[in-house]
């Protein structure tokens, strides 16, 4: 029974690994903390509930209206961006992020999201630029480091760089949360195993 349970845990982690690699690390919905009218705060809570229940179009419409009425609402703007990305409305997400970046140029989480949008759009050079800039703005933020690993692993084909970024991400994750990311541990082990296999093949080549 313990062996079956362990196999299930490993398989579940592997599925999580594949899903996260495909999605990339963007962000989780955030609460609105600004000093806004009560009806907008309630509307934002409702939008978060829509996001949680997968009612993305309803969430998008409500967040867009909140953002229209309160364009300095960071929470509504970031959550609107997340929904637009989930709906593959990448131009709309890019527009909101560009407006946010003008008002909040030092926020690494916003720059990281700009990188995610560009990666999803296939603009890998731009994505790398944004992710690196995010790490410069906040060297202790794990998300852009993970996204650099994913970018080099799945899109640019540089496994050595990907491994370096994954290992750095794991270090930052431990510093921030006090524990490792189990999915990242799988990615690191997999890349090290593949690297060793390549080295063994090269060593034994005639």
Q: Do domains 36-105 and 107-198 have the same CATH topology?
A: yes
58-110 pLDDT per residue, tens: 999 999 999 999 998 999 999 999 999 999 999 999 999 999 999 999 999 99
Class of domain 36-105: mainly alpha
User: Which fold, 107-198?
Assistant: 1.25.40
Residue 166, pLDDT above cutoff 80:
yes
DSSP for residue 154: I
Residue ranges per structural domain of the chain: 36-105, 107-198
Confidence of residue 37 (pLDDT cuts 50, 70, 90): confident
C-beta separation of 64 from 73 below 8 A: no
| pLDDT of the residue at 32 | 73
Distance of CA 203 to the CA centre of its chain: 38
CA distances from 75 to 60, 72, 206 (A): 13, 9, 60
Give the predicted TM-score (pTM) of the model.
0.84
**Tokens at residue 58, please?**
């309803």
| pLDDT of the residue at 23 | 57
């Amino acid at each position: 029974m313990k062996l079956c349970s362990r196999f299930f845990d490993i398989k579940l982690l592997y599925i999580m690994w594949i899903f996260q690699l495909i999605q990339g690390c963007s962000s989780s919905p955030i609460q609105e903390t600004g000093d806004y009218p009560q009806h907008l705060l309630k509307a934002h809570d409702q939008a978060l509930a829509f996001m949680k229940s997968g009612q993305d179009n309803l969430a998008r419409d409500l967040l867009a209206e909140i953002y229209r009425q309160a364009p300095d609402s960071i929470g509504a703007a970031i959550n609107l961006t997340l929904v637009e990305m989930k709906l593959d409305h990448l131009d709309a997400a890019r527009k909101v992020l560009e407006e946010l970046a003008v008002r909040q140029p030092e926020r690494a989480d916003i720059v990281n999201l700009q990188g995610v949008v560009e990666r999803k759009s296939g603009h890998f050079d731009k994505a790398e630029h944004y992710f690196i800039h995010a790490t410069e703005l906040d060297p202790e933020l794990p998300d852009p480091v993970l996204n650099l690993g994913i970018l080099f692993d799945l899109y640019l084909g540089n496994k050595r760089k990907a491994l370096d970024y994954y290992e750095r991400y794991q270090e930052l994750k431990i510093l921030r949360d006090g524990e490792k990311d189990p999915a990242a541990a799988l990615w690191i082990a997999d890349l090290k195993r593949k690297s060793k296999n390549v080295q063994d093949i090269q060593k034994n080549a005639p």
